[in-house]
Homo-oligomer: A and B are copies of this chain.
Amino acid sequence: MIVSALLTSVGINTALCVLFLTLYSILRKQPSNYEVYVPRLLVEGTSKRRSHFNLERLIPSTGWVAKAWSLTEEELYSLSGLDGVVFMRIITFSVKIFTFAGIIGIFVLLPVNCWGNQQQDIDVGNFTNNSLDVFTISNVNSGSSWLWVHFCAVYLVTGFICLLLFYEYKDISSRRISYFYSSKPQPHQFTILVNSIPTSSSSISDSVESFFKELYPSDYLSHVVVRRTSKIRRLLNEAKNMYRKVSQSRPGPTQQKNKHGGFFGTFGQKYSHIERYQKRLEDIEENVRLKQSEASLAGEVPARAAFVFFRSRFAAATAFHLQQSVNPTRWITELAPEPRDIYWPFFSQSFMRRWISKLVVVLVCILFTIMFLVPVVFVQGLTNLTQLENLFPFLESILTIKFVSQIITGYLPSLILQLFLQLVPPAMDFLSTIQGYISLSDIERSATTKVLWFTVWNVFFASVFSGSIISMMSIILDPKIIPGKLAIAVPAQASFFITYVVTSGWTSVSSELFRIIPYIFNLITGLFTSPDDEFDVPCMPYYRDVPRVLFFGLLGITYFFLAPLILPFVLAYFCLAYIIYRNQFMNVYAPRYETAGKFWPIVHNSMIFSLVLMHIIASGIFALKKLSLASTLMFPLPVVTLLFNEYCRKRFLPIFIGYSAECLIKKDREDQNDATMNEFYNNLVDAYKDPALIPIQYSSNNDSLSSPLISQLNAEEQCNSIIG
């Protein structure tokens, strides 16, 4: 790739970003788009729909940037919990790394690289015609002592990153502990989930009670047996849809407000319609109530799982950490997730079935990751011009235009790849759900890891080894040749990854701001439904964004000494991400759960992996450049890095698994004199009630249900200036 091509690409993508940001700053001010761009503020009531038209709406503004910039970490913490803070920490951490690495890369390594003359085709006169290889390590002469500069840079940056990783881990674990100390009594702290309860002659509920009363006579409080509610859940969904239909067929709330007296009066033609729906809805509700009472009367077979409540956090932790039963595959205990975090349709199956489903999912994941490129390549093969002309004959005239055909042949394959890639996070999320996790947060964390490995394999390694699965597998299966192969293949892809950062990175983060898909979805649904329908505030899809951000970190780390030119672009990506994600946390996403920073170990591991990968490549490069001493001296670095990782695992990881006895007992003592605790204990059972078993009341009480909407609309005139 030549410099001018890179400059063109940077130019186009900068223009695209600016366009996105400008569009965003205009569109977010349109009331019809509030649900897309400020759903969080809308629901919280801090932002109201302003129907008055004014010119300001059409002028792009930068107020939101200043607001996002000035957000403090404490504010972010109160908005999005520790998970939001941890996510932003990934970005600030990366900014720090790449500022440091960038200074070394641009001011030290880049001149050294340009100084060499291994690449013969340098055209000094015409700078922009030079190959980008001039700026990479490939240009340094073989055996040149200048390579020691790269060697030192690798050591220096590794040391810096490890130091930063240590302090970051330390800081986040102390934040996690202080989060625990400052938290009010929360149901999940007093609860464990028991699985694989053995079936006996007595009912599940009785055997749970007798087992835990026997073991923890003073600490056992009560329990809730988990029921199988998939049927009820299906009926509930049906009821909800029906209710939506009913309320859509009904007059809009503004009209309704004016005509409180006669409901069915003026809408004769819709009458029969609504009545029919109303009837159906009542039928379904009756059915639901029947099933619910059946389930609570244990008429249906309950799942062999139960939530068990204890009087103290310490007792719950004890029951979690100790093996309960003589048979380790029975009475398996887990820490209960937060009530809002529970994935209710979870596998409440026996030990064996959960274990097997986990194995199967892991296997499917591995196959999916390895084989992913096969169908993509196949589909890409289908989309050549002749095929297209055969499939869609009417396009023939357009396809013969050279420009169009170039666009199609050039962009269609990569568009297909991108579309397939977009499907990966949801697919991995789905795989994690059937893996048997009981909480949404566990599912998302598991999906995050899966997506991360998927990206590393299918984007990094597939690009490096030009996508042939067989050649990739043969390299992986022959560990001796890995450094050598990487040393040849990785630098060759430097220019590809520089443009990848610019195109894929910058675009992905600005489209995150722009929220294209929700925007389009909103446009379409806006045509059919009234804008005042209920809507859910989205929650941050960590399983999609964490791997993406981490992958750019990996690219930056592995390429920093090979092609330092990548660093400014990576840095720009992270700066953009810094502003945009902060803005999204403020306006768009509401937290759905609080893992209190459990995402950080994934980040740490990913960084360590990036470092070791860089060391392997460096070792291979130095061997290739005939500087075998440097190649040998590179060997201690991954070892020390892995030891450092091992130390961190011992020093910090336990904090992210469970709280220590010291913390738990301290918190328990604090509560002892709290008079409200009795009430809290009484509410525990309700907190872990399956939402499917909560009585529903759509049909007979329509007006009161729509009241929140009405009150929301009444406040319509109250303007506020949050949307700048």
Contact = CB atoms under 8 A, between A and B. Distances in A.
Interface of A: 177, 214-215, 317-319, 321-329, 351, 355, 359, 477-480, 643, 647, 650-655, 658, 660-663, 665
Most buried by B among A317, A328, A652: A328
12 contacts: A177-B326, A214-B665, A319-B661, A323-B658, A324-B662, A327-B651, A328-B653, A328-B660, A329-B650, A355-B650, A477-B479, A478-B479
Given A355-B647, A647-B355, A661 B479 contact: no
B661 A322 contact: yes
Given A355-B650, A643-B359, A325 B660 contact: yes
Nearest to A647: B355
A649 to B, nearest CB: 10
Nearest to A315: B318
Contacts of A214: 665
B328 A662 contact: no
Contacts of A658: 322-323
A663 B647 CA distance: 34
A613 to B, nearest CB: 19
Which 7 A-B pairs rank lowest in CB-CB distance, beginning with the nearest? A328-B654, A321-B321, A323-B660, A322-B661, A324-B661, A323-B654, A318-B318
Contacts of A665: 214-215
A653 B652 CA distance: 26
A329 B651 contact: yes
Contact of A650 (B328, B478, B650): B328
Nearest to A211: B662
B322 A317 contact: yes
B662 A325 contact: yes
Contacts of A327: 651
Contacts of A650: 328-329, 351, 355
Contacts of A318: 318, 321-322, 661
Given A326-B660, A665-B215, A480 B477 contact: yes
A573 to B, nearest CB: 35
A319 B660 CA distance: 10
Copies in the complex: 2
Nearest to A651: B329
B329 A662 contact: no
A478 B481 CA distance: 10
A328 B651 CA distance: 6
Given A214-B665, A359-B643, A477-B479, 16 more contacts: A215-B661, A215-B665, A318-B322, A322-B660, A322-B661, A323-B658, A323-B661, A324-B660, A324-B662, A325-B660, A326-B662, A328-B650, A328-B654, A328-B655, A355-B650, A478-B480
A218 to B, nearest CB: 10
Contact of A478 (B326, B329, B478, B647): B478
A478 B661 CA distance: 47
Contacts of A351: 650
A116 B662 CA distance: 72
A658 B323 CA distance: 8
A523 to B, nearest CB: 51
A649 B662 CA distance: 31
Most buried by B among A317, A319, A660: A660
Given A215-B665, A661-B319, A652 B326 contact: no
A318 B312 CA distance: 14
Contacts of A329: 650-651
Nearest to A654: B328
A268 B322 CA distance: 69
Nearest to A332: B650
Contacts of A326: 177, 655, 660, 662-663
A475 to B, nearest CB: 11
> In this complex, which of A323, A359, A650 has the most chain B Cβ atoms within 10 angstroms of its Cβ?
A323
A325 B661 CA distance: 7
A190 to B, nearest CB: 16
A661 B318 CA distance: 9
Contacts of A655: 326, 328
Contacts of A317: 322
A643 B360 CA distance: 12
A652 B359 CA distance: 19
A347 B187 CA distance: 43
Contacts of A478: 478-480
A48 B652 CA distance: 61
A633 B461 CA distance: 31
Contacts of A321: 318, 321-322
Contacts of A480: 477-478
Contacts of A662: 215, 324-326
A170 to B, nearest CB: 10
A329 B649 CA distance: 10
Contacts of A647: 355
A656 to B, nearest CB: 10
A324 B479 CA distance: 41
A215 B326 CA distance: 27
Nearest to A659: B323
Contacts of A319: 661
A658 B328 CA distance: 11
A323 B215 CA distance: 21
A193 B351 CA distance: 33
A642 B322 CA distance: 26
Contacts of A322: 317-318, 321, 658, 660-661
Nearest to A657: B323
A166 to B, nearest CB: 13
A449 to B, nearest CB: 20
Contacts of A215: 661-662, 665
A650 B326 CA distance: 13
Contacts of A652: 328
A485 to B, nearest CB: 14
A177 B321 CA distance: 19
A127 to B, nearest CB: 46
A604 to B, nearest CB: 15
Nearest to A658: B323
Nearest to A669: B214
> Which of A317, A329, A651, A662 has most B Cβ within 10 Å?
A662
Contacts of A355: 647, 650
